[in-house]
Structure 1
């Protein structure tokens, strides 16, 4: 069984963190939040969404993550707290906005996490999140798992598209509504992911951070090389060797009730 690790912040940045930053900026623009608001970023990881929140001139930003390795590279302009999304170590109604980027599907109990997001948000505040569209829109991962399954049908059980049905607009909207949030809306956010060459795409899969890199780490050298070669063959390379793909995330937002 492939082991999933979420500790090496630098390896995560090379793998997918670099693509989460433009998504975070688009997400924050969609929220259209005035300056001077207080933010909580749950599952803040290496700080992509935290950085986007800081660009709004907030009253303050707090980031929470269970990985000390990620928190160590998240930066110093916000306050960071080690904690569990399903049991936030924070008081009720403390924040104007509670947000989460690319983390909700990895928590132990998303329903409990959504309830916690609402608990620590002030009455009438905003609760919002986004996750990768693993089924279709996150192209680098879609190409990877399609190649992996072609060589090893058993890899299908590890594919995020199969494991995380939450990562679609309908399930996200239902999760928010079930948490008692009002005015729930969703949208797609798509950004380009341009790789300088095959190595720029492939080498981060060797870093061990997350399901796909964890699967690669579990393979013997021969099978790893076969996967590398098939993926290289299938990817749409340009004349200059660059690989131009796209990454889509699904975002959801809602508001806590004023009279709770």
Structure 2
């Protein structure tokens, strides 16, 4: 498996996205469902936002978490003090678990960074027992993330290369309105349900927004890391003007929407 997400440091990721994935974890678990005594797999655990939320949500027997990035795995392992949780490096498209081992397999903010996302869904289905749940969530980059559109729409005005990068960001796998549901149905999951989950991203000031991007984290950071010093300074000035919106620098709050989908492994599977 390859991943299109750029990881520089755990701290940078936390500022860019980890703090928001923690906000998303609780409503995602409420949508996906959980019950005492279950065994749950977290596919693409990052620094542990969903993993540790699962541990607090029910008296689970086991939580297995995997991630492709050794940076994320090391940080999640460092944070872990729960004997029920195991965290290892792994491939979402080739899970190192036997068939039907888990009651549920979840993936939070991962599938849109997996080029072969259908394989990841198929693998999640494979390791879940009959009657068990597969669930995933991805950001709605095009229609539901104004904080990120603010960056890309500002940058895209600067030329065709930036517009190509914007298009790639908006239309990653599983991000179109019905893509997750269709992906689940194509892997023969049943009782498939898709919804939207809304949180808010609250920034202290422009620096709080810009620092992880400037340091090269994630897709936005990957783009700006390819700019020379002059173009980077121009981009920062333009994005800061968009962030401030003609008002003094300070706190800003942006709504952010994720697509979420769940389905059951058929009985008798």
Deviations 1:153-193, CA, capped at 9 Å, x for gaps: 31122225444152134111000000110000111111111
Structure 2: stretches of 5+ with no match in the other structure: none
The answer as to whether partners of 2:8 and 2:216 remain within 8 angstroms in 1 is no
Show structure 1 runs of 5+ residues with no match. none
Poorly superposed stretches of 4+, deviation over 4 Å: 236-240
- Relative distance call for 1:7 and 1:79 in structure 2 (3 A) is farther
Kindly state the Cα deviation for residue 8 of structure 1 after the two structures are TM-superposed. Answer: 1.8
1:128 aligns to 2:155 (yes or no):
no
Residue in structure 2 matched with residue 72 of structure 1 by the alignment: 74
Aligned to 1:251: 260
CA RMSD of superposed structures (Å): 1.7
| 8 A contact 1:169–1:186 mirrored in 2 | no
In structure 1, the partner of 2:44 is 43
Corresponding pairs, count: 258
Could you report, residue by residue, the CA deviation over 1:115-154 in whole angstroms, capped at 9, with x for unpaired residues?
Answer: 1010000110000000011002112211111111112331
Report the secondary structure of 1:176's partner residue: helix
Which residue matches 1:55?
56
Summarize the alignment of residues 82-231 of structure 1 with structure 2, pairs less than 5 Å apart. Answer: 82-159=89-166, 160-164=168-172, 166-231=174-239
* 2:29 alignment partner in structure 1: 28
Q: Is the 8 A contact 2:42 2:64 kept in 1?
A: yes
| Whole-angstrom CA distance in 1 between matches of 2:38 and 2:255 | 32
Could you tell me the TM-score, scaled by structure 2's length?
A: 0.91
Task: Output the TM-score relative to the length of structure 1.
Answer: 0.94
Is contact 1:184–1:254 with CA below 8 Å preserved after alignment?
A: yes
